[in-house]
């Protein structure tokens, strides 16, 4: 009898993955942690019943969340990642020769443990000497007063819905802390989910960020694993516009290119209407 994992995208829509083997199932103090060997995308991480990242298509999300900011910042030497305990984003960020150090703040040590054991393509980053892994709540970490300013802060957390620890990372108070933790020309990017199913995450986050940062932008990519595929990121920047960037030769990339970077800021009207007018105006292309 075939085993299937089912995720509820919305009350009337489920996503299902055929499972060859259940590799791990456990409960941390924060969430239920499972690793499934799926037929379609290989070893995949599930938290509280939500598919987080798969071996088969993780490169899309991680290349975009890493290389759009890395290409737009002239000297991305110090990077903070909050969440991302699977290691995939850190691996992608560390593939840039400009990056001198990555601090990864993950609240759940069980996620790191199972990723090291079952998600080797994600977890290769943990062997990089430039990586500093800290097990802590990202919100509390930014309350520390001894932090050196960061050039980039990337939020790779679980979604704000539900009972998990990700919700606090979508508050204006947290965005204010991010602003304070960034260098004078720093910028931050946060995953803001699939607006086709959860438009309020993008709408509320972009509104909050636009009130705190002088430059706020929204970009997107297609991640087959996530409901509806269409997936967004919201950015706040103190000086640089992510649409202005120096093309990087990311030779290993299977999704990111300078043309994809440029096109990722073209928002369909059904999505643009969710974000503040200033973002819509700044991201309206006429014939370019
Ligand atoms: N790529 C996935 C996505 O976009 O849905 C995210 C994957 S990553 C595994 C998400 C991580 O964020 C989880 O390991 C979770 O424990 C971590 N996380 C959630 N809230 C956090 C917080 N407040 N501080 C630090 N890490 C947090």
Interval between CA 280 and ligand 1 midpoint (Å): 29
Residue 20 sits at φ, ψ, to 5 deg, of -75, -45
Q: Does 31 belong to an annotated binding site?
A: yes
| Nearest atom of ligand 1 to the alpha carbon of 141 | 24
| Nearest atom of ligand 1 to the alpha carbon of 156 | 6
The helix (run of H) or strand (run of E) holding residue 3 is: strand 3-10
Other CB atoms within 10 A of residue 65 CB: 27
CATH classification for the domain delimited by 3-52, as one of 2.30.140.10, 3.30.9.10, 3.40.50.2000, 3.40.50.2300: 2.30.140.10
- Tokens 């819509």 label which residue? 280
Give me the active site residues, please.
156
Interval between CA 189 and ligand 1 midpoint (Å): 14
CATH classification for the domain delimited by 58-287, as one of 3.30.470.30, 3.40.50.150, 3.30.70.980, 1.10.287.110: 3.40.50.150
- Give, for all 288 residues of the chain, the pLDDT tens digit: 789 999 998 889 999 999 999 999 999 999 999 999 999 999 999 999 999 999 999 999 999 999 999 999 999 999 999 999 999 999 999 999 999 999 999 999 999 999 999 999 999 999 999 999 999 999 999 999 899 999 999 999 999 987 789 999 999 999 999 999 999 999 999 999 999 999 999 999 999 999 999 999 999 999 999 999 999 999 999 999 999 999 988 999 999 999 999 999 999 999 999 999 999 999 976 544
Q: Does 37 belong to an annotated binding site?
A: no
Interval between CA 157 and ligand 1 midpoint (Å): 3
Q: Which residues contact 88 (CB under 8 A, 6 or more apart)?
A: 53, 58, 61, 62, 119, 121, 122, 125
Select from 49, 50, 83, 175 the residue to mutate for testing ligand 1; criterion: most ligand atoms less than 8 Å from CB.
83
pTM for the model stands at: 0.97
Burial of 127 (0-12, 13-18, 19+ CB in 10 A): exposed
| Nearest atom of ligand 1 to the alpha carbon of 112 | 14
Q: Does 146 belong to an annotated binding site?
A: no
DSSP class per residue in 229-270: SEEEEEEEESS--TTS------TT-SS--HHHHHHTT---HH
pLDDT at 178 (0 to 100): 98
Q: Are 265 and 271 in contact (CB under 8 A)?
A: no
- The upper half-sphere exposure of residue 285, i.e. CA atoms within 13 Å in the direction of its Cβ, equals 10
Q: Does 229 belong to an annotated binding site?
A: no
pLDDT at 285 (0 to 100): 67
| Nearest atom of ligand 1 to the alpha carbon of 159 | 5
Ligand 1 site residues, Cβ closer than 6 angstroms: 30, 45, 47, 52-53, 61, 82-86, 105-108, 111, 137-139, 156-158, 165-166, 168-169, 191
Q: Which residues contact 182 (CB under 8 A, 6 or more apart)?
A: 149, 150, 151, 153, 188, 238
Domain span(s) for CATH 3.40.50.150 in the chain: 58-287
Domain span(s) for CATH 2.30.140.10 in the chain: 3-52
Closest Cα to atom 19, ligand 1: which residue?
166
Other CB atoms within 10 A of residue 251 CB: 6
pLDDT at 1 (0 to 100): 72
């Amino acid at each position: 009898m075939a085993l299937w994992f089912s995720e509820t995208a919305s009350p009337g829509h489920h996503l299902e993955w055929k499972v060859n083997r259940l590799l791990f199932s456990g409960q941390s103090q924060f969430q239920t942690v499972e690793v499934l060997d799926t037929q379609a995308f290989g070893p995949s991480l599930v938290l509280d019943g939500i598919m987080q990242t798969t071996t088969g298509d993780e490169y899309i999300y991680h290349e975009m969340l890493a290389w759009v900011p890395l290409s737009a910042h002239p000297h991305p030497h110090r990077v903070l990642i909050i969440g991302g305990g699977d290691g995939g984003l850190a691996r992608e960020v560390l593939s840039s020769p400009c990056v001198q150090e990555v601090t990864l703040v993950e609240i759940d040590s069980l996620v790191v443990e199972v990723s090291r054991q079952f998600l080797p393509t994600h977890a290769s980053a943990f062997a990089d000497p430039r990586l500093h892994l800290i097990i802590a709540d990202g919100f509390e970490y930014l309350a520390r007063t001894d932090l050196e300013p960061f050039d980039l802060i990337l939020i790779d957390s679980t979604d704000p819905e539900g009972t998990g620890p990700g919700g606090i990372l979508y508050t204006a108070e947290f965005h204010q802390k991010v602003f304070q933790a960034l260098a004078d020309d720093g910028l931050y990017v946060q995953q803001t989910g699939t607006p086709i199913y959860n438009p309020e995450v993008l709408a509320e986050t972009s509104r909050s960020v636009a009130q705190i940062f002088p430059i706020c932008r929204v970009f997107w990519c297609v991640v087959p694993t996530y409901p509806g595929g269409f997936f967004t990121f919201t950015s706040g920047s103190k000086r640089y516009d992510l649409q202005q960037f120096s093309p990087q030769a990311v030779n290993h990339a299977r999704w990111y290119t300078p043309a994809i970077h440029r096109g990722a800021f073209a928002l369909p009207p059904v999505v643009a209407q969710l974000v503040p007018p200033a973002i819509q105006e700044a991201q309206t292309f006429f014939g370019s």
